[in-house]
Structure 1
Amino acid sequence: MEKDMELKPGSRWKSAVCTSEVVVVRPPKTPVSLECGGQPMVALAATAPEGLELSPDFSGGTAVGKRYFDEAAGLEVLGSKAGKGSLAIDGKPLNLKEAKALPASD
């Protein structure tokens, strides 16, 4: 697992096994490996490695406009392009951040 990823706010990453892309909203507190579809993600401008396959364990999909987070690591990313792979860090699935309910206006 690559832990030398520079997950800075605003940095963009793409999956090596599907069409998913994300933007880092909040960086992790410690170095982690950001993964999609069971494989490490690569910088948007980089060439994805060949021969990698989508893991059935991480095929739940990534949605556009949804935020994904890991409380322990402090990482939060925003889906910028949908894909078949699901997001994880160090093999642990990221949680989908639910939208906050707006207060009722009576």
Structure 2
Amino acid sequence: MLTGVSRLPLLVYGIASILAFGLYGYDKQQAKAGQWRTPEKLLHAVELLGGWPGALLAQQLFRHKTRKLSYQVWFWLIVALHQVIWLDVLFLKVTLVDL
């Protein structure tokens, strides 16, 4: 299947996405209940670690954090950073260790 290709990035992205999705769901529940919220820095940290796909799905499904411009700017910068890294890795054959 993926001969010679590490599955570690897929695992990291999968776990981080599940975590991000759960954090968004929890934060939305807390917001509705007027309770303590998940810090935005934590949400962004999980996105940065590879959880942005899960975060994007959760934003749309829960309709959460979609209208706050300052949050969205940081979110899309994180997504763009991941895209640039993967373009380098896939097309310029740079390994993650070289970064």
User: For this structure pair, what is the TM-score category when the shorter chain's length is used for normalisation?
Assistant: under 0.3
* Greater Rg over alpha carbons, structure: 2
Q: Please give the TM-score of this superposition, normalised by the length of structure 1.
A: 0.24
More helix by share: 2
